Structure 1
Protein backbone atom coordinates (compact mmCIF):
# COMPACT_ATOMS: atom_id res chain seq x y z
CA UNK A 1 0.00 0.00 0.00
CA UNK A 2 1.27 3.46 -0.88
CA UNK A 3 2.52 5.31 2.20
CA UNK A 4 1.11 8.80 2.65
CA UNK A 5 3.57 11.58 3.59
CA UNK A 6 1.92 12.05 6.99
CA UNK A 7 2.39 8.36 7.86
CA UNK A 8 6.18 8.70 7.82
CA UNK A 9 6.25 11.30 10.61
CA UNK A 10 7.19 9.99 14.05
CA UNK A 11 4.82 10.96 16.87
CA UNK A 12 4.87 10.16 20.62
CA UNK A 13 3.79 6.55 21.27
CA UNK A 14 0.78 7.67 23.29
CA UNK A 15 -0.57 9.40 20.16
CA UNK A 16 0.43 6.75 17.63
CA UNK A 17 -3.06 5.24 17.41
CA UNK A 18 -4.78 8.50 16.49
CA UNK A 19 -5.93 9.17 12.94
CA UNK A 20 -3.61 11.42 10.96
CA UNK A 21 -4.75 14.42 8.96
CA UNK A 22 -2.27 16.60 7.03
CA UNK A 23 -2.80 20.33 7.28
CA UNK A 24 -0.84 22.84 5.23
CA UNK A 25 2.51 22.65 7.03
CA UNK A 26 1.29 20.72 10.08
CA UNK A 27 -0.06 17.34 11.18
CA UNK A 28 -3.32 16.90 13.06
CA UNK A 29 -3.91 13.79 15.18
CA UNK A 30 -7.50 12.93 16.03
CA UNK A 31 -9.43 10.42 18.16
CA UNK A 32 -13.01 10.19 16.93
CA UNK A 33 -14.28 8.59 20.15
CA UNK A 34 -13.08 11.22 22.59
CA UNK A 35 -12.54 14.20 20.30
CA UNK A 36 -8.92 14.40 21.49
CA UNK A 37 -6.93 16.47 19.00
CA UNK A 38 -3.18 17.03 18.90
CA UNK A 39 -1.32 19.38 16.56
CA UNK A 40 2.24 18.59 15.43
CA UNK A 41 3.88 21.65 13.93
CA UNK A 42 7.58 21.90 13.07
CA UNK A 43 10.22 21.34 10.40
CA UNK A 44 9.16 17.69 10.12
CA UNK A 45 5.67 18.69 8.97
CA UNK A 46 6.48 21.70 6.77
CA UNK A 47 6.07 19.67 3.56
CA UNK A 48 2.55 18.43 4.34
CA UNK A 49 -0.46 19.70 2.43
CA UNK A 50 -4.17 19.23 3.08
CA UNK A 51 -5.70 16.68 0.70
CA UNK A 52 -9.36 16.90 1.73
CA UNK A 53 -11.66 18.99 3.93
CA UNK A 54 -11.31 18.06 7.59
CA UNK A 55 -15.00 18.43 8.47
CA UNK A 56 -18.11 17.98 6.33
CA UNK A 57 -21.09 19.91 7.64
CA UNK A 58 -24.00 18.05 6.08
CA UNK A 59 -27.31 19.92 5.81
CA UNK A 60 -29.01 16.70 4.80
CA UNK A 61 -32.54 18.14 4.76
CA UNK A 62 -34.29 21.51 4.88
CA UNK A 63 -37.36 19.98 6.52
CA UNK A 64 -37.97 20.93 10.12
CA UNK A 65 -40.72 20.52 12.71
CA UNK A 66 -40.18 24.10 13.95
CA UNK A 67 -40.54 27.47 12.19
CA UNK A 68 -37.92 29.77 13.73
CA UNK A 69 -38.21 33.38 12.56
CA UNK A 70 -34.48 33.79 11.97
CA UNK A 71 -34.18 30.68 9.74
CA UNK A 72 -33.74 31.40 6.02
CA UNK A 73 -34.17 27.83 4.75
CA UNK A 74 -37.12 26.68 2.66
CA UNK A 75 -38.48 23.95 4.93
CA UNK A 76 -40.73 22.70 2.13
CA UNK A 77 -37.87 21.92 -0.26
CA UNK A 78 -37.34 18.19 -0.85
CA UNK A 79 -33.95 16.73 0.00
CA UNK A 80 -32.03 15.37 -2.98
CA UNK A 81 -30.34 12.79 -0.74
CA UNK A 82 -31.26 9.29 0.28
CA UNK A 83 -29.59 7.58 3.21
CA UNK A 84 -27.70 5.36 0.77
CA UNK A 85 -26.47 8.29 -1.32
CA UNK A 86 -25.34 10.17 1.78
CA UNK A 87 -23.46 7.12 3.09
CA UNK A 88 -21.63 6.61 -0.22
CA UNK A 89 -20.61 10.28 -0.40
CA UNK A 90 -19.32 10.36 3.18
CA UNK A 91 -17.59 6.97 2.95
CA UNK A 92 -15.64 8.18 -0.08
CA UNK A 93 -14.77 11.52 1.55
CA UNK A 94 -13.53 9.59 4.57
CA UNK A 95 -11.30 7.50 2.32
CA UNK A 96 -9.95 10.75 0.86
CA UNK A 97 -9.00 11.88 4.37
CA UNK A 98 -11.99 13.68 5.94
CA UNK A 99 -12.21 13.20 9.72
CA UNK A 100 -15.70 14.28 10.74
CA UNK A 101 -19.27 14.74 9.57
CA UNK A 102 -21.59 17.11 11.43
CA UNK A 103 -25.24 16.68 10.45
CA UNK A 104 -27.64 19.60 10.49
CA UNK A 105 -30.44 20.92 8.38
CA UNK A 106 -33.22 21.74 8.73
CA UNK A 107 -33.76 19.12 11.38
CA UNK A 108 -31.75 15.95 10.69
CA UNK A 109 -33.96 13.78 12.92
CA UNK A 110 -36.82 14.08 10.41
CA UNK A 111 -34.66 12.67 7.59
CA UNK A 112 -35.81 9.17 6.61
CA UNK A 113 -33.34 6.50 7.73
CA UNK A 114 -31.20 8.93 9.72
CA UNK A 115 -30.48 6.65 12.71
CA UNK A 116 -29.42 3.79 10.44
CA UNK A 117 -27.22 6.14 8.40
CA UNK A 118 -25.44 7.26 11.58
CA UNK A 119 -24.96 3.64 12.69
CA UNK A 120 -23.47 2.65 9.32
CA UNK A 121 -21.08 5.60 9.29
CA UNK A 122 -19.88 4.71 12.76
CA UNK A 123 -19.48 1.00 12.07
CA UNK A 124 -18.22 1.08 8.47
CA UNK A 125 -16.07 4.22 8.28
CA UNK A 126 -13.51 6.05 10.40
CA UNK A 127 -15.58 9.26 10.54
CA UNK A 128 -16.52 10.95 13.77
CA UNK A 129 -20.25 11.67 13.62
CA UNK A 130 -22.11 14.50 15.35
CA UNK A 131 -25.45 16.19 14.82
CA UNK A 132 -27.21 19.44 15.63
CA UNK A 133 -30.89 19.14 16.53
CA UNK A 134 -33.67 21.15 18.12
CA UNK A 135 -34.23 18.01 20.23
CA UNK A 136 -38.00 18.02 20.12
CA UNK A 137 -38.05 14.70 18.22
CA UNK A 138 -35.35 13.04 20.29
CA UNK A 139 -37.38 10.25 21.90
CA UNK A 140 -35.85 7.79 24.34
CA UNK A 141 -35.85 5.13 21.62
CA UNK A 142 -34.12 7.38 19.08
CA UNK A 143 -31.60 8.57 21.66
CA UNK A 144 -30.76 4.96 22.51
CA UNK A 145 -30.23 4.21 18.80
CA UNK A 146 -28.02 7.27 18.19
CA UNK A 147 -26.00 7.60 21.40
CA UNK A 148 -23.54 4.71 20.83
CA UNK A 149 -22.65 6.00 17.37
CA UNK A 150 -22.26 9.76 17.74
CA UNK A 151 -19.39 11.72 19.17
CA UNK A 152 -21.73 14.48 20.31
CA UNK A 153 -25.32 15.65 20.06
CA UNK A 154 -25.52 19.44 19.84
CA UNK A 155 -28.81 20.87 21.02
CA UNK A 156 -29.99 24.19 19.59
CA UNK A 157 -31.81 26.07 22.35
CA UNK A 158 -34.68 28.39 21.39
CA UNK A 159 -36.84 30.70 23.46
CA UNK A 160 -40.14 29.09 22.45
CA UNK A 161 -39.11 25.50 23.28
CA UNK A 162 -38.60 24.32 26.86
CA UNK A 163 -35.17 22.72 26.62
CA UNK A 164 -34.79 21.97 30.31
CA UNK A 165 -36.41 18.50 30.43
CA UNK A 166 -34.41 17.35 27.41
CA UNK A 167 -31.11 18.58 28.86
CA UNK A 168 -31.89 16.83 32.13
CA UNK A 169 -32.63 13.62 30.22
CA UNK A 170 -29.45 13.84 28.15
CA UNK A 171 -27.39 14.42 31.29
CA UNK A 172 -29.14 11.60 33.16
CA UNK A 173 -28.36 9.15 30.36
CA UNK A 174 -24.77 10.38 30.19
CA UNK A 175 -25.12 11.25 26.52
CA UNK A 176 -22.30 13.28 24.99
CA UNK A 177 -23.99 16.58 24.26
CA UNK A 178 -23.55 20.32 24.09
CA UNK A 179 -25.77 23.36 23.60
CA UNK A 180 -25.78 25.93 20.77
CA UNK A 181 -27.20 29.35 21.64
CA UNK A 182 -27.63 32.26 19.24
CA UNK A 183 -26.67 35.57 20.87
CA UNK A 184 -28.85 38.48 19.73
CA UNK A 185 -29.36 41.95 21.24
CA UNK A 186 -32.55 40.75 22.93
CA UNK A 187 -30.74 37.76 24.46
CA UNK A 188 -27.52 39.49 25.45
CA UNK A 189 -28.58 40.32 29.01
CA UNK A 190 -29.39 36.64 29.68
CA UNK A 191 -26.00 35.10 28.87
CA UNK A 192 -24.92 34.53 32.48
CA UNK A 193 -28.36 33.33 33.55
CA UNK A 194 -28.45 30.81 30.71
CA UNK A 195 -24.96 29.41 31.25
CA UNK A 196 -25.31 28.88 34.98
CA UNK A 197 -28.74 27.32 34.51
CA UNK A 198 -27.32 24.93 31.90
CA UNK A 199 -24.44 24.09 34.22
CA UNK A 200 -26.86 23.27 37.03
CA UNK A 201 -28.81 20.97 34.71
CA UNK A 202 -25.74 18.97 33.67
CA UNK A 203 -24.57 20.68 30.47
CA UNK A 204 -20.79 20.97 30.22
CA UNK A 205 -20.34 22.38 26.69
CA UNK A 206 -21.87 25.58 25.24
CA UNK A 207 -21.27 27.22 21.86
CA UNK A 208 -22.29 30.87 21.48
CA UNK A 209 -23.34 31.65 17.91
CA UNK A 210 -23.42 34.98 16.11
CA UNK A 211 -26.23 35.83 13.73
CA UNK A 212 -25.57 35.85 9.98
CA UNK A 213 -28.29 37.31 7.79
CA UNK A 214 -30.19 40.37 6.64
CA UNK A 215 -32.25 41.14 9.74
CA UNK A 216 -30.29 44.03 11.23
CA UNK A 217 -32.21 43.77 14.51
CA UNK A 218 -30.54 40.40 15.22
CA UNK A 219 -26.95 41.67 14.84
CA UNK A 220 -25.03 42.94 17.85
CA UNK A 221 -23.78 46.51 17.60
CA UNK A 222 -20.04 47.14 18.10
CA UNK A 223 -20.70 48.18 21.71
CA UNK A 224 -22.82 45.09 22.33
CA UNK A 225 -20.12 42.90 20.80
CA UNK A 226 -17.49 44.41 23.09
CA UNK A 227 -19.81 43.93 26.06
CA UNK A 228 -20.30 40.26 25.17
CA UNK A 229 -16.53 39.77 24.86
CA UNK A 230 -15.94 41.22 28.33
CA UNK A 231 -18.65 39.06 29.84
CA UNK A 232 -17.46 35.89 28.10
CA UNK A 233 -13.94 36.54 29.36
CA UNK A 234 -15.26 36.75 32.94
CA UNK A 235 -17.49 33.70 32.43
CA UNK A 236 -14.54 31.73 31.10
CA UNK A 237 -12.74 32.30 34.40
CA UNK A 238 -15.83 31.59 36.51
CA UNK A 239 -16.67 28.35 34.65
CA UNK A 240 -13.12 27.04 34.23
CA UNK A 241 -13.01 23.32 34.89
CA UNK A 242 -16.79 23.05 34.99
CA UNK A 243 -17.95 24.02 31.49
CA UNK A 244 -16.30 24.43 28.09
CA UNK A 245 -17.38 27.76 26.64
CA UNK A 246 -16.94 28.13 22.88
CA UNK A 247 -17.39 30.91 20.31
CA UNK A 248 -18.12 30.30 16.65
CA UNK A 249 -15.58 31.58 14.11
CA UNK A 250 -18.03 34.17 12.74
CA UNK A 251 -17.44 36.39 15.78
CA UNK A 252 -14.02 37.20 14.31
CA UNK A 253 -12.09 40.03 15.96
CA UNK A 254 -15.15 41.13 17.94
CA UNK A 255 -14.00 38.62 20.56
CA UNK A 256 -10.39 39.83 20.77
CA UNK A 257 -10.71 40.25 24.54
CA UNK A 258 -11.43 36.54 25.01
CA UNK A 259 -8.45 34.19 25.59
CA UNK A 260 -8.22 31.50 22.89
CA UNK A 261 -7.15 27.89 23.23
CA UNK A 262 -5.74 28.12 19.68
CA UNK A 263 -4.54 31.38 18.17
CA UNK A 264 -7.20 32.56 15.68
CA UNK A 265 -6.33 32.59 11.99
CA UNK A 266 -8.14 33.08 8.71
CA UNK A 267 -11.70 31.73 8.57
CA UNK A 268 -11.40 27.99 7.76
CA UNK A 269 -14.77 27.77 5.98
CA UNK A 270 -14.38 26.37 2.48
CA UNK A 271 -10.99 24.87 3.26
CA UNK A 272 -10.95 22.94 6.54
CA UNK A 273 -14.75 22.95 6.67
CA UNK A 274 -17.26 22.58 3.86
CA UNK A 275 -21.05 22.38 3.73
CA UNK A 276 -23.03 19.89 1.67
CA UNK A 277 -26.55 21.18 1.15
CA UNK A 278 -29.83 19.30 0.84
CA UNK A 279 -29.90 20.00 -2.91
CA UNK A 280 -26.45 18.44 -3.47
CA UNK A 281 -24.31 21.53 -3.60
CA UNK A 282 -21.02 22.41 -1.93
CA UNK A 283 -20.77 25.73 -0.07
CA UNK A 284 -18.06 27.14 2.21
CA UNK A 285 -20.54 27.64 5.07
CA UNK A 286 -24.25 27.61 5.80
CA UNK A 287 -24.56 31.37 5.24
CA UNK A 288 -22.58 31.79 2.02
CA UNK A 289 -24.04 32.78 -1.34
CA UNK A 290 -21.57 30.69 -3.38
CA UNK A 291 -22.37 27.03 -4.01
CA UNK A 292 -21.45 24.43 -6.60
CA UNK A 293 -23.27 21.27 -7.73
CA UNK A 294 -21.66 17.97 -6.68
CA UNK A 295 -22.72 14.38 -7.30
CA UNK A 296 -19.75 12.39 -5.99
CA UNK A 297 -16.85 12.71 -3.58
CA UNK A 298 -14.61 13.27 -6.59
CA UNK A 299 -16.75 16.29 -7.49
CA UNK A 300 -16.41 17.60 -3.94
CA UNK A 301 -12.62 17.33 -4.01
CA UNK A 302 -12.43 18.92 -7.47
CA UNK A 303 -14.55 21.93 -6.46
CA UNK A 304 -12.68 22.20 -3.16
CA UNK A 305 -9.38 22.50 -5.06
CA UNK A 306 -10.44 24.47 -8.13
CA UNK A 307 -12.78 27.01 -6.54
CA UNK A 308 -10.56 28.15 -3.68
CA UNK A 309 -11.03 31.84 -4.43
CA UNK A 310 -14.82 31.62 -4.42
CA UNK A 311 -14.86 29.46 -1.29
CA UNK A 312 -12.56 31.92 0.50
CA UNK A 313 -14.55 35.05 -0.43
CA UNK A 314 -16.74 36.91 2.09
CA UNK A 315 -20.41 36.00 2.23
CA UNK A 316 -22.68 38.69 0.83
CA UNK A 317 -25.15 38.75 3.73
CA UNK A 318 -24.17 40.79 6.82
CA UNK A 319 -22.39 38.98 9.63
CA UNK A 320 -19.47 37.37 7.82
CA UNK A 321 -16.15 37.82 9.65
CA UNK A 322 -14.39 38.00 6.26
CA UNK A 323 -16.20 41.26 5.41
CA UNK A 324 -14.97 44.67 6.54
CA UNK A 325 -17.09 45.63 9.51
CA UNK A 326 -18.86 42.27 9.13
CA UNK A 327 -20.81 43.79 6.25
CA UNK A 328 -22.84 45.88 8.69
CA UNK A 329 -21.68 49.33 7.65
CA UNK A 330 -24.18 49.92 4.86
CA UNK A 331 -27.80 49.18 4.14
CA UNK A 332 -28.38 45.65 2.79
CA UNK A 333 -28.61 45.22 -0.96
CA UNK A 334 -30.71 42.77 -2.91
CA UNK A 335 -28.26 40.10 -4.08
CA UNK A 336 -28.66 36.57 -5.48
CA UNK A 337 -28.03 33.73 -3.04
CA UNK A 338 -26.77 31.17 -5.54
CA UNK A 339 -23.24 31.12 -6.87
Structure 2
Protein backbone atom coordinates (compact mmCIF):
# COMPACT_ATOMS: atom_id res chain seq x y z
CA UNK A 1 0.00 0.00 0.00
CA UNK A 2 1.33 3.45 -0.93
CA UNK A 3 1.56 5.88 1.95
CA UNK A 4 -0.63 8.99 1.98
CA UNK A 5 0.28 11.75 -0.45
CA UNK A 6 0.01 14.55 2.09
CA UNK A 7 0.89 14.30 5.76
CA UNK A 8 0.18 16.77 8.56
CA UNK A 9 2.36 16.47 11.66
CA UNK A 10 1.74 18.30 14.93
CA UNK A 11 5.20 19.05 16.28
CA UNK A 12 3.99 20.10 19.73
CA UNK A 13 0.89 21.09 21.63
CA UNK A 14 2.68 24.15 23.01
CA UNK A 15 1.32 27.51 21.88
CA UNK A 16 1.55 30.85 23.66
CA UNK A 17 -1.63 32.08 21.98
CA UNK A 18 -3.86 29.44 23.62
CA UNK A 19 -7.03 30.07 21.58
CA UNK A 20 -10.10 28.76 23.41
CA UNK A 21 -11.33 26.86 20.34
CA UNK A 22 -8.05 25.08 19.53
CA UNK A 23 -8.67 21.53 18.28
CA UNK A 24 -5.41 20.47 19.94
CA UNK A 25 -6.13 22.16 23.30
CA UNK A 26 -2.73 23.83 22.95
CA UNK A 27 -1.36 25.88 25.83
CA UNK A 28 1.81 27.82 26.77
CA UNK A 29 3.30 24.94 28.76
CA UNK A 30 2.96 22.26 26.12
CA UNK A 31 4.82 19.11 25.25
CA UNK A 32 6.08 16.95 22.41
CA UNK A 33 7.20 13.37 21.92
CA UNK A 34 9.06 14.09 18.67
CA UNK A 35 12.82 14.45 18.45
CA UNK A 36 14.40 15.81 15.28
CA UNK A 37 15.90 12.41 14.42
CA UNK A 38 12.53 10.71 14.86
CA UNK A 39 10.83 13.17 12.53
CA UNK A 40 13.53 12.74 9.89
CA UNK A 41 13.32 8.93 10.15
CA UNK A 42 9.54 8.93 9.87
CA UNK A 43 9.19 11.47 7.06
CA UNK A 44 12.04 9.90 5.09
CA UNK A 45 10.38 6.49 5.18
CA UNK A 46 7.01 7.96 4.23
CA UNK A 47 8.60 9.88 1.35
CA UNK A 48 10.17 6.69 0.04
CA UNK A 49 6.70 5.10 0.19
CA UNK A 50 5.05 7.90 -1.78
CA UNK A 51 4.36 10.85 0.52
CA UNK A 52 4.98 14.05 -1.42
CA UNK A 53 4.21 16.82 1.07
CA UNK A 54 4.44 17.33 4.82
CA UNK A 55 2.81 20.18 6.71
CA UNK A 56 4.13 21.00 10.17
CA UNK A 57 1.77 22.52 12.72
CA UNK A 58 0.98 22.31 16.38
CA UNK A 59 0.42 23.93 18.71
CA UNK A 60 2.78 26.50 17.35
CA UNK A 61 5.60 25.04 15.22
CA UNK A 62 7.85 28.04 15.89
CA UNK A 63 7.81 26.99 19.56
CA UNK A 64 9.22 23.57 18.66
CA UNK A 65 13.01 23.91 19.24
CA UNK A 66 14.12 21.59 16.41
CA UNK A 67 11.90 23.08 13.67
CA UNK A 68 14.69 24.66 11.68
CA UNK A 69 16.88 21.58 11.86
CA UNK A 70 14.01 19.42 10.63
CA UNK A 71 13.17 21.77 7.75
CA UNK A 72 16.82 21.91 6.69
CA UNK A 73 17.38 18.15 6.79
CA UNK A 74 14.20 17.46 4.79
CA UNK A 75 14.98 20.02 2.09
CA UNK A 76 14.62 18.45 -1.36
CA UNK A 77 13.00 15.28 0.02
CA UNK A 78 9.38 16.42 0.32
CA UNK A 79 7.38 19.63 -0.03
CA UNK A 80 7.75 21.26 3.42
CA UNK A 81 5.17 23.71 4.73
CA UNK A 82 4.35 25.16 8.13
CA UNK A 83 1.23 26.76 9.58
CA UNK A 84 1.95 29.35 12.26
CA UNK A 85 0.22 32.11 14.19
CA UNK A 86 3.20 34.31 13.32
CA UNK A 87 3.63 35.82 16.79
CA UNK A 88 7.29 34.75 16.93
CA UNK A 89 8.05 35.47 13.28
CA UNK A 90 10.43 38.41 13.57
CA UNK A 91 14.11 39.08 14.23
CA UNK A 92 16.38 36.05 14.47
CA UNK A 93 13.45 33.61 14.19
CA UNK A 94 12.43 35.12 10.85
CA UNK A 95 16.04 35.04 9.63
CA UNK A 96 16.44 31.38 10.63
CA UNK A 97 13.20 30.43 8.89
CA UNK A 98 14.23 32.16 5.69
CA UNK A 99 17.64 30.44 5.83
CA UNK A 100 16.06 26.96 5.70
CA UNK A 101 13.65 28.11 2.97
CA UNK A 102 10.43 26.17 3.59
CA UNK A 103 8.40 25.57 0.46
CA UNK A 104 5.38 27.34 1.92
CA UNK A 105 4.38 29.24 5.05
CA UNK A 106 0.77 29.95 5.99
CA UNK A 107 -0.05 32.35 8.80
CA UNK A 108 -3.37 32.22 10.63
CA UNK A 109 -5.93 34.93 11.26
CA UNK A 110 -8.02 33.52 14.10
CA UNK A 111 -9.78 36.73 15.08
CA UNK A 112 -10.84 38.74 12.01
CA UNK A 113 -12.54 41.28 14.27
CA UNK A 114 -9.14 42.23 15.77
CA UNK A 115 -7.55 44.75 13.43
CA UNK A 116 -4.10 44.45 15.00
CA UNK A 117 -3.94 40.72 14.20
CA UNK A 118 -5.17 41.22 10.65
CA UNK A 119 -2.65 43.99 9.93
CA UNK A 120 0.21 42.04 11.52
CA UNK A 121 -0.45 38.88 9.51
CA UNK A 122 -0.91 40.81 6.26
CA UNK A 123 2.41 42.58 6.80
CA UNK A 124 4.19 39.35 7.67
CA UNK A 125 2.87 37.52 4.61
CA UNK A 126 4.02 40.34 2.36
CA UNK A 127 7.41 40.38 4.11
CA UNK A 128 7.84 36.64 3.56
CA UNK A 129 6.96 37.11 -0.10
CA UNK A 130 9.58 39.85 -0.41
CA UNK A 131 12.15 37.46 1.10
CA UNK A 132 11.40 34.78 -1.48
CA UNK A 133 9.20 32.55 0.70
CA UNK A 134 5.89 31.39 -0.76
CA UNK A 135 3.27 32.48 1.74
CA UNK A 136 -0.46 32.62 2.39
CA UNK A 137 -3.14 33.01 5.03
CA UNK A 138 -5.47 30.65 6.88
CA UNK A 139 -8.60 32.66 7.66
CA UNK A 140 -10.86 31.22 10.36
CA UNK A 141 -14.54 31.70 9.49
CA UNK A 142 -17.07 31.56 12.34
CA UNK A 143 -20.83 31.75 11.94
CA UNK A 144 -21.00 34.54 14.51
CA UNK A 145 -18.28 36.63 12.82
CA UNK A 146 -19.22 36.39 9.15
CA UNK A 147 -19.27 40.15 8.59
CA UNK A 148 -15.78 40.62 10.04
CA UNK A 149 -14.41 37.63 8.11
CA UNK A 150 -15.94 38.90 4.88
CA UNK A 151 -14.46 42.36 5.37
CA UNK A 152 -11.02 40.92 6.10
CA UNK A 153 -11.19 38.60 3.09
CA UNK A 154 -12.07 41.53 0.84
CA UNK A 155 -9.21 43.58 2.29
CA UNK A 156 -6.79 40.70 1.69
CA UNK A 157 -7.88 40.31 -1.91
CA UNK A 158 -7.67 44.04 -2.55
CA UNK A 159 -4.14 44.08 -1.10
CA UNK A 160 -3.00 41.47 -3.61
CA UNK A 161 -3.42 38.36 -1.44
CA UNK A 162 -5.91 36.55 -3.66
CA UNK A 163 -8.03 33.47 -2.99
CA UNK A 164 -5.32 31.20 -4.33
CA UNK A 165 -3.28 32.23 -1.27
CA UNK A 166 -6.11 32.13 1.29
CA UNK A 167 -7.50 29.00 2.94
CA UNK A 168 -10.97 29.62 4.34
CA UNK A 169 -11.25 27.40 7.42
CA UNK A 170 -14.74 26.92 8.91
CA UNK A 171 -14.86 26.92 12.68
CA UNK A 172 -15.35 23.36 13.94
CA UNK A 173 -17.00 22.11 17.11
CA UNK A 174 -19.30 25.09 17.64
CA UNK A 175 -20.09 28.30 15.75
CA UNK A 176 -19.71 26.45 12.44
CA UNK A 177 -20.72 28.31 9.26
CA UNK A 178 -22.48 26.65 6.36
CA UNK A 179 -20.56 26.00 3.13
CA UNK A 180 -22.67 28.73 1.52
CA UNK A 181 -21.60 31.22 4.19
CA UNK A 182 -17.94 30.36 3.67
CA UNK A 183 -18.43 30.91 -0.07
CA UNK A 184 -19.97 34.33 0.67
CA UNK A 185 -16.91 35.27 2.75
CA UNK A 186 -14.69 34.17 -0.15
CA UNK A 187 -16.47 36.65 -2.42
CA UNK A 188 -18.40 34.00 -4.34
CA UNK A 189 -15.23 33.21 -6.27
CA UNK A 190 -13.28 29.91 -6.41
CA UNK A 191 -11.61 29.35 -3.04
CA UNK A 192 -9.65 26.87 -0.95
CA UNK A 193 -11.00 25.18 2.17
CA UNK A 194 -10.91 21.84 3.98
CA UNK A 195 -11.98 18.83 1.94
CA UNK A 196 -14.67 18.19 4.57
CA UNK A 197 -16.38 21.54 3.99
CA UNK A 198 -19.49 19.91 2.55
CA UNK A 199 -19.13 16.33 3.78
CA UNK A 200 -17.18 14.61 6.57
CA UNK A 201 -15.29 11.78 4.93
CA UNK A 202 -11.91 10.08 4.79
CA UNK A 203 -9.36 11.07 2.17
CA UNK A 204 -6.92 8.42 1.00
CA UNK A 205 -4.54 11.25 0.09
CA UNK A 206 -4.25 12.78 3.57
CA UNK A 207 -3.92 12.02 7.26
CA UNK A 208 -2.67 13.69 10.43
CA UNK A 209 -0.18 12.64 13.10
CA UNK A 210 -0.39 14.18 16.56
CA UNK A 211 2.30 15.58 18.85
CA UNK A 212 2.16 12.32 20.84
CA UNK A 213 2.50 10.10 17.73
CA UNK A 214 -1.09 9.10 17.10
CA UNK A 215 -2.64 8.80 13.65
CA UNK A 216 -6.00 10.25 12.60
CA UNK A 217 -7.80 10.88 9.32
CA UNK A 218 -7.83 14.59 10.14
CA UNK A 219 -6.74 16.98 12.87
CA UNK A 220 -10.24 17.41 14.30
CA UNK A 221 -11.55 13.88 14.78
CA UNK A 222 -11.31 12.20 18.17
CA UNK A 223 -10.62 8.81 16.55
CA UNK A 224 -6.87 8.19 16.82
CA UNK A 225 -4.54 5.20 16.69
CA UNK A 226 -0.95 5.13 18.07
CA UNK A 227 1.96 4.58 15.69
CA UNK A 228 3.64 1.26 16.46
CA UNK A 229 6.85 2.41 14.82
CA UNK A 230 8.12 5.40 12.86
CA UNK A 231 7.56 3.89 9.42
CA UNK A 232 5.20 4.28 6.48
CA UNK A 233 4.10 0.69 7.03
CA UNK A 234 3.08 1.49 10.61
CA UNK A 235 1.23 4.57 9.37
CA UNK A 236 -0.75 2.50 6.88
CA UNK A 237 -1.48 -0.10 9.55
CA UNK A 238 -2.77 2.55 11.96
CA UNK A 239 -5.16 3.81 9.28
CA UNK A 240 -6.62 0.37 8.64
CA UNK A 241 -10.20 0.26 9.92
CA UNK A 242 -9.65 3.57 11.73
CA UNK A 243 -13.01 5.35 11.96
CA UNK A 244 -13.61 9.04 11.32
CA UNK A 245 -15.72 10.60 14.06
CA UNK A 246 -17.44 13.83 13.01
CA UNK A 247 -16.02 16.75 15.00
CA UNK A 248 -19.24 18.78 15.17
TM-score bin (small chain): 0.7 to 0.9
Equivalent position to 1:107, from 45, 60, 68: 60
In structure 2, the residue matched to 1:181 is 139
The 5-angstrom pairing of residues 128-143 of structure 1 reads: 128-143=79-94
Whether the aligned pair in 1 keeps the contact of 2:10 and 2:56 (CA below 8 Å) is: yes
Q: Secondary structure at the match of 1:246?
A: coil
- Unaligned 5+ segments in structure 2 are none
Per the TM alignment, residue 102 of structure 1 is displaced from its structure 2 partner at its CA by: 0.2
Whether the aligned pair in 1 keeps the contact of 2:18 and 2:26 (CA below 8 Å) is: no
Residue-by-residue CA offset, 1:240-297 (whole Å, 9 max, x unaligned): xxxxx312112115xxxxxxxxxxxx8444x311111111111111111111111533
In structure 2, the residue matched to 1:278 is 211
Residue-by-residue CA offset, 1:46-87 (whole Å, 9 max, x unaligned): xxxx51111110001000110112114243442011112111
In structure 2, the residue matched to 1:250 is 196
Per the TM alignment, residue 231 of structure 1 is displaced from its structure 2 partner at its CA by: 5.6
In structure 2, the residue matched to 1:170 is 128
The 5-angstrom pairing of residues 9-158 of structure 1 reads: 51-72=2-23, 73-75=25-27, 76-123=29-76, 126-147=77-98, 148-158=100-110
Q: Secondary structure at the match of 1:163?
A: helix
Change (3 A) 1:292 1:225: closer
Q: After TM superposition, where is structure 1 displaced by more than 4 Å over at least 4 residues in a row? A: none
Change (3 A) 1:288 1:141: same
Q: How far apart, CA to CA, are the structure 1 residues paired with 2:189 and 2:43?
A: 37
Per the TM alignment, residue 170 of structure 1 is displaced from its structure 2 partner at its CA by: 2.3
Q: How far apart, CA to CA, are the structure 1 residues paired with 2:95 and 2:127?
A: 12
Question: C-alpha root-mean-square deviation of aligned residues, in Å?
Answer: 2.4
Per the TM alignment, residue 202 of structure 1 is displaced from its structure 2 partner at its CA by: 4.1
Change (3 A) 1:287 1:93: same
Whether the aligned pair in 2 keeps the contact of 1:59 and 1:276 (CA below 8 Å) is: yes
Per the TM alignment, residue 109 of structure 1 is displaced from its structure 2 partner at its CA by: 0.5
> Structure 1 stretch 162-171 or stretch 54-63: which is displaced more?
162-171
Q: Secondary structure at the match of 2:74?
A: helix
Whether the aligned pair in 1 keeps the contact of 2:179 and 2:198 (CA below 8 Å) is: no
In structure 2, the residue matched to 1:315 is 245
TM-score by length of 2: 0.84
Aligned residues between the structures: 237
Q: How far apart, CA to CA, are the structure 2 residues paired with 1:82 and 1:121?
A: 14
Relative CO higher for 1 or 2, CA cutoff 8 Å, sep ≥ 6? 2
In structure 2, the residue matched to 1:209 is 169
